[in-house]
Structure 1
Amino acid sequence: MRVHSIESFGTHDGPGIRLVVFLQGCKLKCLYCHNPDTIETSGGTEYKIEELVEIALKMKPYFGKKGGVTVSGGEPLLQAKELIPFFKRLKEEGIHTNVDTNGRILNSFAKTLIDEYADLVMLDIKHMTEEGYFALTGVSCKETTFNFAAHREASGKNMWLRYVLIPEITSKPELLHAMGNYFKEFKTIEKIEIQPYHKLGIHKWEALGWEYQLKDARENTPEELEEAAAILKKYFKEVKIN
């Protein structure tokens, strides 16, 4: 697999303490991406699957009952074919597996991975309108993400949602209500995580020679975060502000 970086003792990428493997490559170019250096598919470092398994096994004593391995990115499902034997080995070792994805890939390899080997899926909801989705990501057809969510729901296996709250862009109450109404009947969604907007990745954009287009966007106030959480609590069992 092509790996961008590996983080030990991750605490914001799924339940418990986790080994987080950030894979290289993504077909989106989200305006707020804080790891734009993961976008190009040609970058990264090649790892053999067993090398990654050995790293996970060394971490296993720290996982406890809730922790495990999360694959993120970039978009990890671009390498879904390679992730199947990786997750299969992790499951053989009794390690919890999690995929952090934008949900735009649902080919046969992705289906096998999330149906058979992913204990948890964290699904990033970018926007609730087609126009807004395209403006944020540079690609069209938000329906692919919703089709992915429906597929995971049908499997009966756990799912978390994630949503970046950008003032005046994704923070509008009507968008939050739309998301709540869309997902309120889903049984597999354990929680939704609000990701406060930040500009920590601007220097990476500049290093790549890319223009960061959200320079004028401001960070959330504590009141805005709580107001958003209050709306979403009407629809979801648990709402967390990261």
Structure 2
Amino acid sequence: MTTVLLPQPSLGVGDPFGQAKSSDDSSTTGTVHSWDISTGVDGPGTRFVTFLSGCPLRCLYCQNPDTWLRSNGTPMSVDDVLTEAAKYVPFIRAAGGGATISGGEPMQQPQFATSLLEGFQGLGLSTALDTSGYLGRLASDRLLAATDLVLLDIKAGQPETYRRLTSRELRPTLDFATKLAKRGKRVWLRYVLVPGLTDAIEEIGAVAGFAGGLGNIERVDVLPFHTLGQSKWEALNRRFVLADTPTPTAEQVEEARDVFRAAGLTAY
């Protein structure tokens, strides 16, 4: 995996919810944190992954808190990003991959994200949108038409837990998931298993029961919590409150997968 971090301003705390103040969303330019070539974690095959800056959530386990603020991104045009991606198209196609837009939260820059997705399709690449769904109300028909696959992170099944984990409300994500189901959009659901926070059977069961009724969830990935992003929190002078939380055991991960399987879903 090769990650290219773009030149960025100093990492300040800034606006506590990372709203853009320096520029509005544009269909031709946006703020990009970095790009990456990855395999197996950002959609099928090898992917060109573009990480956009800005996110309205404050997830306690976030491994990229340096993407929260739009001001920490580098201004780039759609053509800038596509020119970089085009260098890898033959390799990506041969590896059965495509292009993924992640973040941050891509839908904090919905017009820019739409233009990127359309541009990637123009390069002959399949597209994926990695999102929490919290800003799903901003997903236009045009954006969804340019998205072949949605990687949807449902972070908790109970509103109280979701609020504690993200500082936001669960309902917008569920509404977006329902919208995707009505359109028959392909979805891979991701669920981060955090001991003591999202590992309760009733928590997992709430997500599984909801997802099992949608009809468009191709797979569920249960992702074990880890502390690999802790150093980024420290660089931002932020306290990583889950520093002492253990990684779930293989048995705990498999038990969580079984809850999703019991709801008729394919879980990994």
Residues 226 and 89 (structure 1 numbering): CA distance in 2 closer, same or farther, change over 3 Å?
A: same
Aligned to 2:21: none
1:191/1:236 contact within 8 Å kept: no
Deviation at 1:42, TM superposition (A): 1.0
For the pair 1:77 / 2:138, whether they are aligned, the reply is no
Amino acid paired to 2:114: I
Aligned to 2:18: none
**1:2-13 pair list within 5 angstroms:** 2-13=31-42
Residues 31 and 20 (structure 1 numbering): CA distance in 2 closer, same or farther, change over 3 Å?
A: same
Aligned to 2:55: 26
- 1: CA distance between counterparts of 2:38 and 2:207? 31
**1:61-210 pair list within 5 angstroms:** 61-64=90-93, 66-108=96-138, 110-139=139-168, 141-210=169-238
Q: 5+ unaligned residues in a row in structure 2: which ranges? A: 1-29
Identity fraction in percent: 37
Deviation at 1:229, TM superposition (A): 1.3
Secondary structure of the corresponding residue to residue 239 of structure 1: coil
Secondary structure of the corresponding residue to residue 149 of structure 1: helix
2:81 to 44, 52, 63: 52
- 1: CA distance between counterparts of 2:229 and 2:255? 26
Q: Which moved more, 1:228-237 or 1:15-24?
A: 228-237
1:24/1:44 contact within 8 Å kept: yes
1:102/1:125 contact within 8 Å kept: yes
Deviation at 1:92, TM superposition (A): 2.2
- 2: CA distance between counterparts of 1:113 and 1:239? 30
TM-align CA RMSD: 1.4
Deviations 1:1-39 (A, max 9, x none): 211111023431000100111111101110000111011
Amino acid paired to 1:87: L
1:192/1:236 contact within 8 Å kept: no
Secondary structure of the corresponding residue to residue 191 of structure 1: strand
Amino acid paired to 1:225: V
1:180/1:232 contact within 8 Å kept: yes
1:125/1:162 contact within 8 Å kept: yes
Secondary structure of the corresponding residue to residue 30 of structure 1: coil
TM-score, normalising length from structure 1?
0.94
